[in-house]
Amino acid sequence: MRSVGSVEAEEGRGLVGDRYHGSRHRHVTVQSGTALAEAAERLGRPVPPEGTRRNVTLSHGEVPTAPGSLIRIGPVLLEVVRVAAPCRLLDDELGPGAQEALRRRAGSVCRVLGSGTITVGDPITVQAPP
């Protein structure tokens, strides 16, 4: 994983260049910097955003986990499909206890409902499911 200033999102396909691009539902994973800070406190060491292998990290706040919730990042509309569960490989990558520290803090898996460019600093809005 590497940090970029912007990325193209394609409706129904995901992020251009991502290994899941073109998959049916796992288009984008979104996590929160606030949740990563909580996980780091619990773990006792930093949890770098790229270490979790999520696509997008919001600088603060909560990422909705209820299916059907909508997240707009700049012009791109995402729909939450499910919670992104942390895998046990995180213990190998980030150290023992990382998977447990990230439980309920690992963000959400979303599908792309509207194409556009996601850029660092874009405004974010969240809407609960109807």
Q: What is the pLDDT of residues 74-112, one digit of tens each?
A: 999 999 999 999 988 899 889 999 999 999 999 999 999
User: Hey, what domains does the chain have and what are their CATH numbers?
Assistant: 6-127 (2.40.33.20)
Segment 8-27 mean pLDDT: 92
Q: What is the pTM of this model?
A: 0.91
pLDDT digits (tens, 9 = 90+) for 47-68: 999 999 899 999 988 999 999 9
Distance (Å, rounded) from C-alpha 83 to C-alpha 109? 6
pLDDT for 2:
80
